[in-house]
Amino acid sequence: MTRQMHRLAALLLGATALTAGALPALAETVKLTVLGVGDVYNFQESDGRGGFARLNAVAKAERAANPNTIYVFDGDMLSPSILSGFDKGQNTIDLTNLVPFDIAVPGNHEFDFGPENFFEKMAASKYPWAAINITNGDGSPVEGLGGVMMKEVGGLKVALVPVAQDTTPEVSSPGDLKFGPTVDMAIAAAKKAREDGAEIVIGVIQTNMENDRELIASHAFDVIMSGDDHSFATAYDGVTAYVETSIDGRFLSPVDLMVDIEEKDGERSIKWSPIFRFIDTATVEPDPASMEIVKAFEKQLDDSLNVEIGMTEGPLDSRRNVVRGEESAMGNLIADAIRDATGADIALANGGGIRADRTYDAGTKLTRRDILTELPFGNVTVLTELPGSQVLAALENAVSQVENGAGRFAQVSGLTFVYDPTAEPGSRVTEVLVGGEPLEMDKLYKVAANDYILGGGDGYSALGGGRVLINAGNGNLMANDVMDYISKMGTVTAKVEGRIKKLGD
């Protein structure tokens, strides 16, 4: 049969069906926009890009252009930043309340000042916070923290599945809160939402890209908005549209779902295709109402932070990939400062606590602002006494996830060590010298660190159990120790000098 004969037969069959009383299909197309953002730490722009004033301008414009817009937050705003060191993140709540999210997922940094601070900030928010995998220690729900959100948007049944990072207890301070497995619980919740009638399932998730790949491959989601990696990415595998939502609102990617809805004989079906848009916020005019608040915050900081404390002799580097993967001059400066302040034999500073993500040229005049930007968490310098065996275990932890850029990577003072990144985690450190002498397993060493890792943060359980000589209640703010050290020196001479060596280099 020819193609023309097939067509004629189809037309005749269609006419017959109509005359038999069958109803024609009813169809419409709905445009659904999903805008996600996460990892927004700094209220200000940086080099004319990002910040809450530009972010709020984009969110307002998207909602004005399409009433079927869903605006989601996928974790990390209360900390770390200079201003958050003073107000524990209230500035971020004030600014996001101007253009509220439809849903917000707590990131690990929401707990840097403890769970009570998060509860206070959650109560002050004009938008709902939610996470399906966070409970109280006894397994009961956390008051005020929601779960899967079902809502009707443009006639569509949409499920928002909010999921937090299950590694939060290792990298932050959530107290007794429990965090269930991110990937497994996310997939299960997405499938349940579909069973409950959701036509579009959107994951709002804080987790790393490795887990993101598992979530995409599950095909349980139509859209995933994910934070945590501080990078920007989009992907679509024919089933799931994905956005990794950048940092500080620098780059945004609204996703327009063009949803075709068809109803025939009482049955409803949908199909959709995504349109990814890219917004470089350097091209966005800041929201005026937000800018008024931003300028007030800037004045508040400028009055106290633009005070010079010293000058660099050589360059310093605090870029994220450097402080989390190799010896850094900035890391050496910080570790030297806390060792000097305590009289310790050894000092360890976790790279994840060094946050400015920048370089300093030789001859740079350092200010209080610079150091508080580098060390915004409000951590306290502590001193403990440990045998060499535990020092070695701490160094093994430091390099156990170096290939993943984990924040546990240590910047050190008073010791040098060599490690093999190809060896199994836990067996990577091949040599340790303290003051030029081999580390002795039974000898006691005074170790300076911050209260966060002394308490086991970033996997540093090896630092526990020793005789604590300076506890968090009696120690100085780590940032203050560093500023005092720079002021005393006048000129910063820290440089990369071979404290950390990697086999094969």
Q: Map out the domains of the chain with their CATH numbers.
A: 22-295 (3.60.21.10), 307-502 (3.90.780.10)
Distance CA 179, CA 164 (A): 8
Q: What is the pLDDT of residue 24?
A: 55
pTM of structure:
0.76
Q: What is the pLDDT of residue 85?
A: 80
Please give the backbone phi and psi of residue 37, each rounded to the nearest 5 degrees, phi first.
-150, 155
- Distance, C-alpha 5 to centroid of its chain: 60
Structure tokens of 328?
Answer: 């850094």
DSSP tag of 46: B
DSSP tag of 127: S
Q: 425-428: which pairs have CB atoms within 8 A and are 24 or more residues apart?
A: 425/396, 425/399, 425/400, 425/401, 426/396, 426/400, 427/396, 428/396, 428/399, 428/400
Distance CA 380, CA 111 (A): 16
Distance between terminal CA atoms of the chain?
71
Give rounded-to-5 percent helix, strand, coil for the chain. Answer: 35, 30, 35
Q: What is the pLDDT of residue 134?
A: 98
52-65 helix and 288-305 helix, angle to the nearest 10 degrees:
170
Supply angle C-alpha 500, 459, 395, rounded to 5. 25
Query: To which residue do tokens 């430091």 refer?
Result: 398
Nearest to 196 by CA among 188, 204, 185, 207: 188
Q: What is the pLDDT of residue 170?
A: 86
Structure tokens of 288?
Answer: 């005026």
| Regions of the chain short of the pLDDT cut 70 | 1-25
For residues 407 and 324, the answer to whether their CB atoms sit within 8 Å is yes
For residues 70 and 153, the answer to whether their CB atoms sit within 8 Å is yes
Provide the 10 A C-beta neighbour count for residue 278. 10
SS3 53: helix
Q: What is the pLDDT of residue 272?
A: 97
SS3 475: coil
Nearest to 15 by CA among 6, 24, 3, 26: 24
For residues 411 and 323, the answer to whether their CB atoms sit within 8 Å is yes
